[in-house]
Each structure stands twice: as structure tokens, then as C-alpha cells.
Chain A
């Protein structure tokens, strides 16, 4: 009898840990709040454009700013890869500060919403980071996984061929949960394909002229100072517009170049949405030291301050192409870079297409954002 009770106690302790772990796991489904902006016109769900998403964990908010004045339409994607934090924070900062004067702007901050509900297991990942605002309040954001949560889409097929022609075989099979491999999606496909289809259909239904997909990459990545551009035969202005943006950023002292979208980048937003919609597609990366294999302890200092001595040393020894600053590459600088790129891209687009101009204010200058920090850019939540 005594042995029986010991077994019960051990099982209850195990159950307690399981419950605590489950609470932690489920808490990842509580998404960030967004401070109200009086200029916001409407919040739609992506399922309006992809009915197969309705009721799923991947149905995500689409924030709409309509100036009421004629002009072009811009789509801004953040959180395509939820572990690339600058994309989501840039999108949220845009929603909280934007004031559109001409045309319309659509913003999706959690493009792969399911991906925000889990992290990379056994990888020492931090699931959240915090930013202190100017009023002393603290806002917390999630660090998710670049792939859809397997709770929502599983198992991964061992062979897959997407609408773009991209094939995923063997070890690549988990990429079937990567939004930025499955464009232009499929209406009744796997969950991640339905997300891609929603964005594809949104672009077509709303007549989106210009799209920016915001990403981050590890410091080993080669395209961190670059915007990828899909130059199509029917949109010869695309590279000219992007070059104008890049030169404006260079004249502000920011490294930026442009590169043609790779012909074989099947399933990626800049390639497959560019090829299959009328929108001018661009994709931009910033350098995130928490994503590379050389990063040390995962904490707020690494994610928010971008401080990683290992990468500075690797850069000094000639192993890193990207210029790694000694004092790190803070999230505020990465967000400022994304927002500056968005502003100049819209400005260049408007100069080239004056009848379909997209004019907005409120995002601030690069120097202003860096100097005052994200605590000033992001708004307090009541």
C-alpha cells in the first residue's frame, strides 16, 4: 500500500510539471495588443480573402488605412518568419503611428500567426522580449518559430510540390510550414498554403500596387544590406523605383543596394507573388544576431540590444561579410531601417506613378527613431 502511494505522488508531481509546461505553451497563443490609432480605418481578417482560414489559428488581422483620397495601394508584411522580430515590431509601429494622406495601406503584423505560438525546441530560444516605453510601461512581444506550429499543421509530407513549382523533399519537408516557400498558395491546400493564398488573393482583390515583405537574417547571410526586387516585363519601373529608394537611403548614410529576385526562388514572396500578381514585390532583410549559430545566451540584451560579441569577433577575423558594429545592432536600428525603407519606397513609387501616389506620414526619420528608441515609437497600451 505504501509503494502504491509513492507511485501516486511521483505521477502527481509529473502531472504538475506537465500542467505548468502546458500553461506556458498555451500562453504563447496570447497575441500582442496594438495601441489604438485614430487613423485606422478597418481591421479585417485574412479569412476574408481565404475562407479556408476561418476558425484556424492562422487566421490573422489585416489593418487597413484608407485615406479616402485616390491613390495607390501598399501592402506591408511583418511576421512572415516570427523569429525575425524586427518585421513584426516594424509592422506594429507602423499601425500605431501611420497617417495616410493619399491611397491605402494594408498591414499584416503576424503573417504566419500560428508560427508565433511556439519556438524552436532544444535551442535555448527565448519566447518573449520586452521594451520599456517612454511612460515607463512595458510591452512584451513574442519570439516565435519561422514555421507554422505543427499543432496546427502536421505531419510534414515527405514530398511536396507547390503552386510555384518548388519541390520539398526529405530534410526540406518541414518547409511546407514556411509561408515564404509556398506562395502563391492554394485555396484548399495545407494551412500554410491557405495563408499564402489569402495574401495572394488580397493583392488581387484590393489591387495592391506595391508590397514590402520584412525579414531578418543571421549575420552570415549575404543579402542584409539589400532589397530584393521582382522586375517584370510588364513593370519596367520596378528596379528604377527600388534604386531611387536605395540611393535615398545611401544619401542618408544607410547602406542599401538592390538585387533582382532570383529566377529560381520559387515560392518566395518576391518571386512568386511578383510573377503571379500585378503588385511590385520587394523583400528586405536586417541583421539579427539572435538568429545565427554563433549567438551566445538568448536574452533581451541579445534580442533588443543586438549585442553579440561572438559576431563582432567573427567579423574582425574576416568571417562575416556584413559590417558588425562593436556595440551591437539594436532592434531600434533594425526597425528604423525597415521603416525608412518603407517610407522611401512609397515616395519613389509615388514619384514614378504620380496618379497612383501613396502618401503617408508618422513613421519618423531613421535618426529620430534610433535616437529616441522604440520606447518612444511604440505607444502605451491602456
Chain B
């Protein structure tokens, strides 16, 4: 019996030394083991927002336009702004630089700023982080958007609704802002994965508004090059 206990103790000792070979103390083990690198950012994005549906665009067919676009409508001066303060506006600013035309860009523009513009391109998509970075509340952003749409109506400017952030830019505030813009726009550019419930194509069809579905954000470059060049 004594021998068995000694052997068991020796085995336990060996296992103990063996497990210590990869770390100094058990205190290090439990919390850190296998912890994914989540927490690098504060998550606000719900991947479940993406719903399977049949896409018209693909990696091979990157842009699908439904309806006829009257390019002559879109004259200078051109103004680019954001409704919702997502990063899509900065991306649209980059796209316009690549297209190589003159335009004004201000994501937090007021109604006075856009007054006199013949074409207003609005990047629609709400981001709580973006609103936070800009120091704007949701209520203030909605009020700013309403004031701009009122100015656009008064000026008779052409509006292009640009929803290029995809399904991650769907949600209560994003949809409210998109509805506001679509009511007055004459053209819609949409990253198609945001159209999982046909919201945008249904609206465009019902109001006879041309809509370009794009497969990825980068396809905005070819769409606007075709419109403005």
C-alpha cells in the first residue's frame, strides 16, 4: 500500500512539473487561455443583420442598374455630405477624389453650407461611433438632415442617395435617414447586401427612381466615373 502511494505521489509530482513547463503560475492560466482578441474594439455591429437573399450583383457582375439615369441632371457645383456620420462619407470623399471632379465635402455641413449646390450627394448610414467622434447626438443629426433636405427642396437641387456601407448600415436611424433622402432623390447608389428586404429596390420601383446596385464599396468609383466624366 505504501509503495502504491509513493508511486502515485511521484506521478502527481511529475504531472505538476510538466504542466508548469509552459507557465510560471496557475494564476496566469484561467482567464487568459484561449481568449479571442475581442475587446480590441467595442462591438456595435450585429452580423446577424445579414439575411440570405438572391443578389443581382456578383464578383463578376459588379454593377447592376435598374432604370434610366439622366446624367445631364447632375451639374456643378457638387456637394458631398453625410447623414449619420458613418465612415462611408469619408469613403465617398475618397471615391470623388479618384473620380477627379471638383466638389465640396463636409460631413457635418449645415443647410446654409449646401445652399446653391446643384447636386448634393448624401452618404446615408448611421454610426454611433461616428456620431460620438463628431460630437453630434442622434436628435441633432436628424434635425440637421431635415434642415438640409428642406434647403435642397427650396433650391431644386438634384440629390443622389448613396448607401455604400452595406448591411451594417441598416437599423432604425440609418433607415429613417435613408427614407428622408430617398423621398427627394433622383438616383440611388446602393451596396446590394443592404437590400436584403428589398427596401431600396421596392422604393425605387414604386417611385420610378433609377438605382445602381453595387457589389462592393469600391464599385462606387466606376458608377460615379460614368455619371460625372
A21 proximal to B (CB < 8 A): yes
Complex-state Cα separation, A244 to B96, whole angstroms: 11
B95 proximal to A (CB < 8 A): yes
Q: Are B17 and A260 in contact (CB under 8 A)?
A: no
Q: Are A257 and B36 in contact (CB under 8 A)?
A: no
Complex-state Cα separation, A146 to B42, whole angstroms: 19
Complex-state Cα separation, A135 to B93, whole angstroms: 46
Query: Which of the segments A69-77, A195-203, A220-228 contacts the partner chain?
Result: A220-228
B4 proximal to A (CB < 8 A): no
Query: Which of the segments B71-79, B127-135, B174-182, B200-208 contacts the partner chain?
Result: B127-135
Query: Which of the segments A40-48, A98-106, A116-124, A353-361 contacts the partner chain?
Result: A116-124
Q: Are A221 and B36 in contact (CB under 8 A)?
A: yes
Report chain B residues within 8 Å CB of A291.
34, 36-37
Chain A nearest Cβ from B73, distance in angstroms: 26
Q: Are A258 and B28 in contact (CB under 8 A)?
A: no
Q: Are B87 and A122 in contact (CB under 8 A)?
A: no
- Contact A120 B87, CB 8 Å, known A14-B13, A244-B94: no
Report chain A residues within 8 Å CB of B97.
244
Report chain B residues within 8 Å CB of A174.
27-28, 31-32
Complex-state Cα separation, A247 to B221, whole angstroms: 9
Complex-state Cα separation, A222 to B36, whole angstroms: 11
Report chain B residues within 8 Å CB of A127.
22
Q: Are A121 and B19 in contact (CB under 8 A)?
A: yes
Contacting residues of chain A (244-284) with chain B, CB-CB under 8 angstroms? 244, 246-247, 250-251, 255, 257-265, 268, 283
B33 proximal to A (CB < 8 A): yes
Report chain B residues within 8 Å CB of A159.
none
Chain B nearest Cβ from A160, distance in angstroms: 14
Complex-state Cα separation, A146 to B37, whole angstroms: 9
B218 proximal to A (CB < 8 A): yes
Digitize B71-92: 1 where CB-to-A-CB distance is under 8 Å, 0 elsewhere. 0000000000000000100110
Interface residue from A231, A251, A262 paired with B42 (Cβ < 8 Å): A262
Chain A nearest Cβ from B104, distance in angstroms: 14
Report chain A residues within 8 Å CB of B94.
240, 243-244, 246-247
Q: Are A25 and B13 in contact (CB under 8 A)?
A: no
Q: Are A25 and B22 in contact (CB under 8 A)?
A: yes
Chain B nearest Cβ from A98, distance in angstroms: 26
B6 proximal to A (CB < 8 A): yes
A308 proximal to B (CB < 8 A): no
Q: Are A21 and B217 in contact (CB under 8 A)?
A: no
Report chain B residues within 8 Å CB of A292.
36
Contacting residues of chain B (191-216) with chain A, CB-CB under 8 angstroms? 216
Report chain B residues within 8 Å CB of A84.
37
- Contact A215 B14, CB 8 Å, known A250-B218, A260-B133: no
Nearest B residue to A170 via CB reads B31
Complex-state Cα separation, A244 to B216, whole angstroms: 15
Nearest B residue to A283 via CB reads B40
Q: Are B33 and A120 in contact (CB under 8 A)?
A: yes
- Contact A217 B24, CB 8 Å, known A239-B87, A240-B90, A259-B129: no
Nearest B residue to A20 via CB reads B21
Digitize B31-57: 1 where CB-to-A-CB distance is under 8 Å, 0 elsewhere. 111111110111111010010000000
Nearest B residue to A84 via CB reads B37
Task: Say which size band chain B's interface belongs to.
Answer: 35 or more
Report chain B residues within 8 Å CB of A264.
42
Complex-state Cα separation, A21 to B35, whole angstroms: 25
Report chain B residues within 8 Å CB of A150.
23-25, 27-28
A180 proximal to B (CB < 8 A): yes
- Contact A118 B90, CB 8 Å, known A146-B35, A217-B38, A268-B40: no
Q: Which of B28, B45, B47, B216 has the most CB of A within 10 A?
A: B28
Complex-state Cα separation, A222 to B46, whole angstroms: 9
Interface residue from A24, A233, A255 paired with B21 (Cβ < 8 Å): A24
Q: Are B45 and A122 in contact (CB under 8 A)?
A: no
Q: Are B14 and A217 in contact (CB under 8 A)?
A: no
Q: Are B47 and A321 in contact (CB under 8 A)?
A: yes
A142 proximal to B (CB < 8 A): no
B147 proximal to A (CB < 8 A): no
Chain A nearest Cβ from B136, distance in angstroms: 12
B29 proximal to A (CB < 8 A): yes
Nearest A residue to B87 via CB reads A258
Q: Are B93 and A265 in contact (CB under 8 A)?
A: no
A10 proximal to B (CB < 8 A): yes
Interface residue from A173, A215, A239 paired with B40 (Cβ < 8 Å): A215
Digitize B92-126: 1 where CB-to-A-CB distance is under 8 Å, 0 elsewhere. 01110110000000000000000000000000000
Chain A nearest Cβ from B57, distance in angstroms: 15
A residues in contact (CB < 8 Å) with B = 6-7, 10, 13-14, 17-18, 20-22, 24-25, 81, 84, 118-123, 125, 127, 145-147, 149-151, 154-156, 171-175, 180, 215-218, 220-223, 228-229, 231, 233, 239-240, 242-244, 246-247, 250-251, 255, 257-265, 268, 283, 285, 291-293, 321
Q: Which 8 A-B pairs have the closest CB atoms?
A: A21-B21, A262-B42, A218-B36, A260-B129, A121-B23, A250-B218, A321-B47, A243-B90
Listed A/B pairs (13) with beta-carbon separation below 8 Å:
A6-B6, A13-B10, A24-B21, A24-B22, A118-B24, A121-B29, A125-B22, A156-B27, A216-B37, A229-B87, A247-B94, A259-B87, A291-B34
